[in-house]
Chain A
Amino acid sequence: MFENLQKRLDAVFKRLKGYGRLTEENIQDALREVRLALLEADVNYKVVKDFIKRIKERAVGSEVMESLTPGQQVVKIVHDELIELLGRSASPLSLAGRTPVVIMLIGLQGSGKTTTSAKIARFLKKKGRRPYLVPADVARPAAIKQLMALSGQAGVDCYETEAKEPPQEIARKAIMQASLKGLDTVIIDTAGRLHIDEALMGELRAMKETASPQEILFVADAMTGQDAVNIARSFDEAVGITGIVLTKIEGDARGGAALSIRAVTQKPIKFIGVGEKLNDLEVFYPDRLANRILGMGDVLSLIEKATEEIDQKKALELQEKLKKNAFTLEDFRDQLKQIRRMGSLQDILNMIPGFNKLSKKMKGLLPDEKELIHIEAIINSMTPEERTNYKIINASRRRRIAKGSGTSVQDVNKLLKNYTQMQKMFKKIKKGNLKGLPFSIPKGLFG
């Protein structure tokens, strides 16, 4: 998300070179671009107006620091203000206190409450908690069944809701059940409702009264437009939310709703939903989003993703092998598998600073997802002996491998060439010569 803002700012700030002091005139273009980009990213009109006003106040008249270009100076101010708006650090779920702790999910229809409930349950289970999913959406047909099915996939307990009961009663009974079963976290999935539906907002208040939830998470679709401010404000005023979950962020929505909702509720965004699978939930780091908006990449997210997904033991083994220069085709395949588990290559590259700009140029060079599957198929079609010693793969073996993997001999040749080049590269790394790497990480903007 926010790619357009990044590109736009890049272009504007290039033009800002060579000024010693920021004035009302020389930053006008920059502010105009920031404004348009934010509006196009669905940030609410009024929120944008306030934001631009604050940036202008801070920017006009400020001396450009010696170490910065005027463009960087404006970026810094925008960055600081974004951090100010989004919050500095991640805000974890508040789960201390008497068990069972109750989390309630609320929001409009179709924002993704049910899926998010199951994702949070899964997330908490990984952290060693014992969650209890409670379907309290008695309005949408089969919503209860949906959560029950998801709870099975997540491997957590689910309350057996009777569709005839009022949601308030469901919540009360489920919390009692949780106590009896010794489960420590109750996650209540509520029905989607319009923020202007007085009766249904009243129902939420009644549920809150009964369940005394420690967290009331407002689930919002990242694609929400200008109305995000009204919706979020209404839910917050009616029920009192404690945090926000932003869903469907993996599309190309520019996610301006995140800024709008933050601005009107001042409540932290706690999670983002990044896919349809139950593992596709990430803790939200506001500072990182601010960095990402400004093209500074999201190295921390990348590192975290890598450490979570990559099998530590296998990584150690690999390290050893690299040291001994015994990186086999089998290892190569394992590497590919791990990379694929982290997401698409493009996604991963986008998290690396400076790579966003490069990614257009890189597009042709990167193997696409299909190619990765082919590579895996080719390696799978080799004998164990061939995988450990690629030198024995002669012409007739290549033909056999191509046939077995449904590829061509050229594909096999290409893979082997890449593999040998990779081996050479590892040798270089071992010698401490990093210049052979395909890219280098640019210096951070602010030092």
Chain B
Amino acid sequence: MLKGLFNKLSEKTPFSNKYATDKTINEDIGGKDRAEDNASAQAMASGLLKKFKNGLQKSRKGFINQVDALIFRKRKIDDELLEELEELLVTGDISVSCVTEIFERLKKEIKRNAISDGDALKEALKSIILEMVDIDAPPIPWAPSPYICLMAGVNGVGKTTTIAKLANILKSQGKNPLFVASDTFRAAAIDQLLVWGKRLNIPVIHHQQGADPSAVAYDGIEAAIKRGVDVVFVDTAGRLHTKVNLMEELKKIRRVIKKHIEDAPHETLLVLDATNGQNALNQARQFNEATPISGIILTKLDGTAKGGIVVTIANELKIPIRYIGIGEKMDDLEPFSPKLFVDALFSS
């Protein structure tokens, strides 16, 4: 697929030859650039950046090294290199169509800016992916109170754990959160949230298992208003996006929340599992159709999965990615920063 495209490309552009002749110079530039990267990274190395990078390191290390190895070691841009580059992006779970788009754009960049060496190619690739994941959105305001945050996602992505992590962050900022246990389906889901409530000292509004999730939400919001809490997290049952009745149930929860506060839920966060492949795009599309998604949280990025589907999702649906989950501990949830994400993706 990409081979054909680049075959044509390399016929028309002289970069492969030029790259071959200029190889020593390019290597020097590459070395210098990396030194600069390190220096600037150190300068920026706030606790956050360090942590972000560390968290991503496990999943990114292979990827980054591969990119650098690819671009700096190869003498010329040939079929083999392009195939490896394609493999790299596809095995990172960026969708085939998105990879095609990335290469289309790269082709234009090469023409426009006369990209003739590997370093420039890397920068171009970087800026294309950055443009795709960098969705222009103001940070979550967590106000007015009570700020209602509805959590949704398919089964097993880590909704409940993420809620606990988020609430923990807000609590440390002096906010006063409340949990609403609207997952009335899964056995012991209420207990799970109760355990977190106890650990974090956060009240939990719940009914019995099997109760109507919207009724729980209704009571939860009512309690939140009465108690004057700042933020409400409504935990919902995991549901596959293809199940019409369950998506209707989600819509109903949303409607019922609106009965108390018209512009609530202020935030509807979709939790996605970074281990998931192309299906995450379907999840994002379907959930967004049922109840407009205002942000995405990408969990389980501490494994070896690369979470590249985020690039595809952000590019297609223009939904900002808000947080990433990078471990099992309470503070293993970090704000998603497109710049850092791509920097971490490409810096060694």
- The answer, yes or no, to whether B133 is at the interface (CB within 8 Å) is no
Kindly provide the distance from the CB of A212 to the nearest chain B CB, expressed in whole angstroms. Answer: 29
A residues near B273, Cβ cutoff 8 Å: 110, 221, 223
Asked if A42 and B91 make an inter-chain contact with CB atoms under 8 angstroms apart, the answer reads no
Determine which of B58, B185, B194, B278 lies in contact with A42 in the assembled complex, contact meaning CB atoms within 8 Å.
B278
Closest CB of chain B to A148's CB: distance in Å? Answer: 8
Bound-state CA distance A211–B196 (Å) is 31
Task: Scan residues 251-276 of chain A and give those whose CB is less than 8 A from a CB of chain B.
Answer: 251-254, 256-257, 276
- For residue A251, which residue of chain B has the nearest CB? B240
Which residues from chain B contact A149 at a C-beta distance below 8 Å?
187-188, 209
Asked if A227 is an interface residue, CB under 8 A from chain B, the answer is yes
Do residues B278 and A142 form an inter-chain contact, with CB atoms below 8 A? Answer: no
Chain B binding surface, main DSSP class: loop
Say yes or no: A142-B279 contact (C-beta < 8 A), given A195-B303, A227-B306, A250-B242: no
Bitwise, A6-46 to B at CB < 8 A (1) or not (0) is: 00000000000000000000000000100010011110111
Contacts of A225 in B (CB 8 A): 93, 275-280, 305, 309
CA distance A224 to B305 in the complex (A): 9
- The residue on A at minimum CB distance from B186 is A146
CB distance from A317 to the nearest CB of B (A): 32
Chain A contact surface mostly: loop
Smallest Cβ-Cβ distance to A48: which chain B residue: B90
Contacts A40-B96, A142-B192, A145-B188 given: A252-B303 contact, CB under 8 Å? no
Q: Which residues in A have their C-beta under 8 angstroms from that of B209?
A: 149
Query: Is A338 engaged at the interface, CB distance under 8 Å to the other chain?
Result: no
Distance in angstroms from A431 CB to nearest chain B CB is 40
Using an 8 Å CB-CB cutoff, how does the interface string of A44-69 with B read, 1 for contact, 0 for none? 11100000000000000000000000
Pairwise interchain contact B156-A110, C-beta atoms closer than 8 A: yes
> How many chain B residues touch the partner (CB < 8 A)?
44
Cβ-defined contact, A224 with B276, below 8 A? yes
Q: Is the CB of B277 within 8 A of A226?
A: yes
C-beta contact mask, A99-139 vs B, less than 8 Å → 1, else 0? 00000000011111000000000000000000000000001
Contacting A142 at CB < 8 Å: which of B155, B195, B275, B280? B195
A423 CB within 8 Å of chain B = no
**Residue B241 at the chain A interface, CB threshold 8 Å:** yes
Q: Which residue of A lies closest to B93 (CB)?
A: A225
B304 & A253 in contact (Cβ 8 Å cutoff): no
Complex partner residue of A223 from B277, B300, B302, B328, CB under 8 angstroms: B277
Chain B CB within 8 A of A248 CB: yes
B91 contacts A45, CB within 8 Å? yes
List A contacts of B240 (CB < 8 A): 248, 250-251
The residue on A at minimum CB distance from B159 is A110
User: A254 with B275: in contact, given A40-B96, A141-B191 (CB under 8 Å)?
Assistant: no
Query: Does residue A196 face the partner (Cβ distance < 8 Å to B)?
Result: yes
Tell me the nearest residue of chain B to A141, going by C-beta: B195
Across the interface, which residues of A come within 8 angstroms of B194, CB to CB? Answer: 142
- 272-291 of chain B: CB within 8 A of chain A: 273, 275-280, 282
Contact between B154 and A248, CB atoms less than 8 A apart: yes
Interface residue? B158 (CB, 8 A): yes
A194 at the interface (CB under 8 A from B): yes
When the two chains form their complex, are residues B279 and A251 in contact, meaning their CB atoms are under 8 A apart? yes
How far is B195's CA from A141's CA once the two chains are assembled, in angstroms? 6
Q: Which residues does chain B contribute within 8 Å of A147, judged by CB atoms? A: 187
Contact A223/B276 with A141-B192, A195-B304 known, Cβ cut-off 8 Å: yes
User: CA of A194 to CA of B158 in the docked complex: distance in angstroms?
Assistant: 14
Find A45's partner among B87, B276, B305 (CB 8 Å cutoff): B87
B303 x A194 contact (CB < 8 A): yes
User: How close is B303's CB to chain A, nearest CB, in angstroms?
Assistant: 5
| Chain A residues within an 8 Å CB radius of B282 | 251-252
Contact check, A231 vs B192: say whether CB atoms are below 8 A apart.
no
Does residue B95 face the partner (Cβ distance < 8 Å to A)? yes
In the bound complex, do residue A227 and residue B303 qualify as a contact, i.e. CB atoms below 8 Å apart?
yes
B92 at the interface (CB under 8 A from A): yes
In the complex, what's the smallest C-beta–C-beta distance from A149 to chain B, in angstroms? 4
A251-B187 in contact given A224-B276, A231-B304, A256-B277 (Cβ < 8 Å): no
Interface flag for A83 (CB, 8 Å): no
Residues in B with CB closer than 8 Å to A231 are 275, 303-305
Residues of A contacting B300 in the complex (Cβ-Cβ under 8 angstroms): 108-110, 194
Closest chain A CB from B272 CB (angstroms): 10
Tell me the complex Cα distance, A69–B204, Å: 65
CA A147 to CA B185, docked complex, whole Å: 14
Any B CB within 8 A of the CB of A140: yes
Contact B156 A111, beta carbon cutoff 8 Å: yes
Collect the chain A residues with CB atoms within 8 Å of residue B95's CB.
40
Nearest Cβ on chain B to A367's Cβ, whole angstroms: 15
Residues of A within 8 A of B152 (CB): none
Q: Does A143 interact with chain B (Cβ within 8 Å)?
A: yes
Which residue of chain B has its CB nearest to the CB of A4? B278
Q: Nearest chain A CB to B96's CB is how many angstroms away?
A: 5
Give chain B residues whose Cβ lies under 8 Å from the Cβ of A111: 156
Bitwise, B80-123 to A at CB < 8 A (1) or not (0) is: 00000001001111011000000000000000000000000000
* Min CB–CB distance A17 → chain B (angstroms): 24
The reply to whether the CB of A150 lies closer than 8 angstroms to some CB of chain B is yes
- Give min CB distance, A428 to chain B, whole Å: 35
Contact A141 B280 (CB under 8 A): no
Q: With an 8 A cutoff between CB atoms, is B157 at the interface? A: yes
Cα–Cα, bound, A420→B188 (Å)? 49
- Can you list 15 pairs linking A and B with CB atoms under 8 Å apart? A45-B91, A109-B300, A110-B157, A139-B328, A145-B191, A146-B187, A146-B191, A196-B304, A221-B276, A223-B276, A223-B277, A225-B309, A226-B305, A251-B154, A252-B242
Query: Which 4 A-B residue pairings sit nearest by Cβ, starting from the closest?
Result: A225-B277, A110-B156, A141-B195, A146-B188
Which B residues are closer than 8 A to A by beta carbons?
Answer: 1, 58, 87, 90-93, 95-96, 154-158, 185-189, 191-192, 194-196, 209, 240-242, 273, 275-280, 282, 300, 302-306, 309, 328
**Interface contacts beyond A231-B303, A257-B277: sample of 10 additional A-B pairs, CB < 8 Å, sorted by A:** A108-B300, A110-B300, A194-B302, A194-B303, A223-B277, A227-B93, A227-B275, A251-B154, A253-B279, A256-B277
